[in-house]
Amino acid sequence: MKKPLFTLAFASMALVASAQTKVTVNADQGKHQISRHIYGHFAEHLGRCIYDGFYVGESNTKIPNKNGVRLDVVAALKKLKVPNLRWPGGCFADTYHWKDGIGPKAKRPKIVNTWWGGVTEDNSFGTHDFLNMCELLGTEPYLAGNVGSGTVQDLTEWVQYVNFEKDSPMSSLRQQNGRAKPWNVRYWGVGNEAWGCGGNMKPDYYANIFRQYSTFMNPKVGDERIFRIASGASDNDYNWTETLMKNIPNTLMEGLAMHHYSVLSWGEGKKGSATQFPDEEYFKTMQQALLMDELIEKHSAVMDKYDPEKKVALIVDEWGGWYNVEPGTNPGFLYQQNTMRDAVLAGATLNIFHKHCERVRMANLAQAINVLQAVILTKGDKLLLTPTYHVLEMYNVHQDATMLPVAVKSDDFTFEKEKLPAVSVSASRDKAGKVHVSLVNIDPTKPQEISVDLKGLNATAVTGRILTSGNVHDHNTFENLNKVKPVAFSGAKLSGNTLTVTLPPVSVAVLEL
């Protein structure tokens, strides 16, 4: 391994930058809303995400809970303003039969989670448990239906069970199981990764399957029809998007999914360490993260051919960094740590989603607790907030705000002969008229001097917070819960319509004007 270039502590650095980054915020041009649903999360039956993450059981007397759901988790996620939560998968969704998870818990059949670790689950966390938890969290549920091994009848009966208020076989069953009123679930995934773990289908075949399932999923939620999300493409499979858009009328489909992970290699054990990564791996991870912009642009261009009015939303319902599991943990549990690398990855990705908010109207970080790029890690009765958590908490000021177009001429972050833009920016105006600007510096050694031209904005003051640390590998542990946390930011100066920002290496800042 070459000597690391990106591990210098601030104390040993000369904070000198080349004043090459220029940003224009067009505060007088905003017209598209950044949907709060871009800030969605994902809870799959995978490793310790559900059991020992969200849910510790009703009989647990050591960890404060309500109906088995950890109250510290509830408090932390409420602070994030989580708008929606996807469940039960993922790959697990296409092996999950929802009727196994209702009724008296002692009578629920056990199942084997064949996708993730081969563990036996007792189905103690099922439909009622999840939907009641969503009410506790103040979030909208996003249910992923079983298309791979289920039937049309299974899924349509699930819709009826959770949504139908009047007398019917499924609403009667729901009432027998203790819930009088329906939950009114609007968001429904019609299968997951149908091109892979959801059935290894070809796009033409899945398009027909989707049309069949979607036809029978017709109950409304209030005055709106339910929001049916097709299993979309992986990464740059534009043919998948083309085939579905060409063959599925938008009267049957409200959303089309797309998955993209910032991963080095899909080979077993070749994804790199979550904490001890060399320079090359850091650069390539950020390269994959910033690729999201190109993927969204090209998938959106395909969708525009068939849906120029943008009625169908692009739903990035799986994204994030994916590394090797932590040493000594079950490889099927996908438990990984979370560093400042993940913080800048999250900030830059959210800035990309903001840019494309006219088409991207929902996204789901993978995953909420103890899995992949988690916002929360748990260990017994302890809870840890990751750097990614702090970025999403800082950024939630953008939820349902008006996106303000930005132009960025960034300095370069270079590694050997390759380069990436060092600075990522997005901006929005909230309903109270406040403008928020999010800035990310992915360069781990060089600060950025950024000049921001505020067009159409007469700002009188600037405040902000920043998330940064002395080393790109820094992360929070159960021995040091607050090594990485946001602090007040004093590196922004306002003079007329010009904002000057000194952004430290590997940092995320959110300013309020």
Hey, which residues are catalytic here? 193, 318
- Encoded tokens for 170: 């499924």
Burial class (CB in 10 A: 0-12, 13-18, 19+), 399: middle
Strand 40-42 and strand 84-87: pairing?
Answer: parallel
- Pairwise CA distance, residues 405 & 397, whole Å: 16
Q: What are the DSSP calls for 301-347, one per residue? A: HHHHHH-TT--SEEEEEEEEE--PPPTTS-GGG-----BHHHHHHHH
Answer yes or no: are the C-beta atoms of 513 and 455 closer than 8 Å.
Answer: no
Q: What are the DSSP calls for 227-246, one per residue? A: EEEEEEEETT-HHHHHHHHH
Specify which residues 328 forms β-bridges with.
none
Residue 85 dihedral angles phi and psi, to the nearest 5°: -135, 120
Closest by alpha carbon to 149, among 98, 186, 105? Answer: 98
Helix (H, G, I), strand (E, B) or coil at 450: strand
**Cα 184 from chain centroid (whole Å):** 23
In the sheet that holds 406-409, the strands lie side by side as 406-409, 21-26, 448-455, 498-503, 492-495
DSSP conformation class of 191? -
Closest by alpha carbon to 140, among 194, 97, 81? Answer: 81
- In whole angstroms, how far apart are CA 309 and each of 123, 313, 383? 43, 11, 44
